[in-house]
Amino acid sequence: MRVIANLLGRRAAAKDEDVLSERDVARLYEAHAPFVYATLQRLGVRAGDLEDVLQEVFVVVQRRVHTFDGTSKATTWLFGICLRVVSAYRRRGFRKNETSVAEPPERVDDRATPEESLAEAESRRRLGALLDEMDLEKRAVFVMFEIDELPCEEIASILGVPTGTVHSRLHAARKSFQAALLRMQARDARRLP
């Protein structure tokens, strides 16, 4: 199927099919699960819910794969799906302050010392706490621009909004992030003897 080939970054077979085989779904999952997992974490999915929400994303991918036309990157298309699934997840009763922004298990650096690993985990915890203070619209733009390093035009395409809206949300997200960081630093300063 040409769509699957585009999503996997390879050439399409001579004969396209309209149905995804189990093998195609498995290949899609294998190729993109680490990206989706990390995206879900950065968008605030609780650690205990990550696997379920990951599966939910791939159910949507399987159902909507025919809408991927290859004009954008697969990760752009997947980020949009992640964003919609996370939005529904939050409406179902998401509770803040239970966010994990750790890397998926496949990306653990075995060369890091225990001290480096601990410092990295603490940095991720602090980043998660700062991101938790943003609403999903600001958080999504902030994550895509500052962490995933996507250009504003691509973010606008993912979100289906004008580029100017992306700029204004990014500005508001940066202000929110800065204010949250200052509050965190003030709390830390009060704790020090």
pLDDT band at 116 (very low <50, low <70, confident <90, very high): confident
Task: Please state the domain extents for the chain.
Answer: 1-112, 133-193
Quick one: average pLDDT of 137-146? 93
Task: Return the pLDDT at 34.
Answer: 95
Task: Return the pLDDT at 120.
Answer: 85
Q: 163-191 and 152-159 helices cross at what angle (nearest 10)?
A: 100
Q: Residue 190 burial (CB < 10 Å; 0-12/13-18/19+)? A: exposed
Task: Return the pLDDT at 102.
Answer: 43
Is the model's pLDDT at 93 over the cut of 90?
no
Whole-angstrom Cα Rg for the chain: 18
Element (H, E) at 60: helix 50-64
Cα 166 to Cα 175: distance, rounded to the nearest angstrom: 14
The tokens for 10 are 């390879």
The CATH topology of domain 133-193 is Arc Repressor Mutant, subunit A (1.10.10)
The CATH topology of domain 1-112 is Rna Polymerase Sigma Factor; Chain: A (1.10.1740)
142-187 pLDDT, tens digit each: 999 998 899 999 999 888 899 999 999 999 999 999 999 999 999 9
